[in-house]
Amino acid sequence: MALAEEIQGEVLYDVPMAEHTSFRVGGPVDYLVYPVDLTDLQKILRWCGKERVDYFVLGRGSNLLVRDGGIRGLAISLSRGFIRIEELHPERGKGALFAEAGESLGKLVEFTCGRGWAGLEFAAGIPGSIGGAISMNAGAFKGEMKDVLRSVRLMDTSGNVLEKSRVDLLFSYRSLKLPQREIILGGEFQLAPEGKEEVRSRMEEIIRRRAARHPHDLPSAGSIFQNPPQGPAGKLIEEVGLKGTRSGDAQISEKHANFIVNRGKARAQDVLALAEKARETVWQKKGVRLELEIKVMGED
């Protein structure tokens, strides 16, 4: 039986990933599926197992580079059925909430800011989904997702729903280590009640600082490399003279050298060529190995 006949959500075929990533590059994925609830998601995983189809979860595509040949398999988007944000345990005091993985991180930041709950201001202006932010332990301005998480809700490959406490989760810099192909369904957060004006002021200041430093006028996927212990990756790339370097329509940003931007019709191979040039040049001239922060998927 076709997957579309088994679930309530929508199933799309041969979908260009350039339409679903902030880089605006990438070949097609075989299937793109939008489950509407847990039952749909369980049916999708069972179907993938029966048909031997690989799957992955597609967030908002803000930290993803898909190669030009596209992706063989199935992409799952939680952006239609998993977008709930709700306050928890009001009898215990304010600041506890649960947020599902498919909602945008920006919506979560605004939700907490509107209630005067402090702790997520660092995430203001970071694109992407809540699930993606948890998965990569997104952070900035001395804050990370792990700092405000109490637990994470997951689905394993058999469709079982699990809750894992923060203390049982293996977070590191821009990473959360989970068993292969477990899906993040959402997270419980604990924030600190504070005045709305104070929280709003800090959030707006971070947005201003981000806008001043980062190129937002052209498609990109944010920081290409993790910051090594020796200093910011962008500073190292700038110091070796690569700021503004182009490959086709891909360019190392003239505003921030840890961003590669799409100036129109860039291909994934152009982006990867620039990333490799930056990594090799920084290694040769600085003796520092840069590690990718973006996720790269698909075939050449």
pLDDT per residue over 124-133, tens digit each? Answer: 999 999 999 9
User: Alpha-carbon distance 10 to 3, whole Å?
Assistant: 9
Q: Is the pLDDT of residue 279 over 90?
A: yes
Determine which one of 67, 153, 174, 279 is catalytic. Answer: 174
Determine which one of 100, 103, 238, 293 is catalytic. Answer: 293
Burial class (CB in 10 A: 0-12, 13-18, 19+), 242: middle
User: Alpha-carbon distance 291 to 299, whole Å?
Assistant: 20
Q: Which of 288, 144, 267 is nearest to 258 (CA)?
A: 288
Residue 90: per-residue pLDDT: 72
Q: Is the pLDDT of residue 254 over 80?
A: yes
Residue 86: per-residue pLDDT: 95
Active site residue 263: no
Residue 91: per-residue pLDDT: 64
Predicted confidence band of residue 257 (pLDDT cuts 50, 70, 90): very high
Q: Is the pLDDT of residue 1 over 60?
A: no
Active site residue 293: yes
User: Alpha-carbon distance 194 to 196, whole Å?
Assistant: 6
Residue 180: per-residue pLDDT: 83
Structure tokens at 262: 């799409």
Pairing mode, strands 149-155 and 161-165: antiparallel
pTM of the model: 0.92
User: Alpha-carbon distance 107 to 221, whole Å?
Assistant: 19
Residue 92: per-residue pLDDT: 62
For the chain, domains (ranges, CATH) are 3-77 (3.30.43.10), 85-213 (3.30.465.10), 233-297 (3.90.78.10)
pLDDT per residue over 83-110, tens digit each? Answer: 999 999 776 668 999 999 999 999 999 9
Q: What is the 3-state secondary structure (H, E, C) of the chain?
A: CCHHHHCCCEEEEEEEHHHCCCCCCCCEEEEEEECCCHHHHHHHHHHHHHHCCCEEEECCCCCEEECCCEEEEEEEECCCCCCCEEECCHHHCCCEEEEECCCEHHHHHHHHHHCCEECCHHHCCCCCEHHHHHHCCCEECCEEHHHCEEEEEEECCCCCEEEEEHHHCEEECCEEECCCCCEEEEEEEECEECCHHHHHHHHHHHHHHHHHHCCCCCCCCCCCECCCCCCCHHHHHHHCCCCCCEECCEEECCCCCCCEEECCCCCHHHHHHHHHHHHHHHHHHHCCCCCECCEEECEC
What's the whole-number average pLDDT of the chain?
95
Handedness of CA 18, 21, 24, 25 (dihedral sign): negative
Q: Residue range 166-171: average pLDDT?
A: 94
Structure tokens at 121: 């201001």
Q: Is the pLDDT of residue 116 over 80?
A: yes
- Confirm if 132 and 138 have CB atoms less than 8 A apart: yes
Burial class (CB in 10 A: 0-12, 13-18, 19+), 160: exposed
Q: Residue range 57-74: average pLDDT?
A: 96
Residue 93: per-residue pLDDT: 65
Determine which one of 104, 223, 247, 253 is catalytic. Answer: 223
Residue 231: per-residue pLDDT: 94
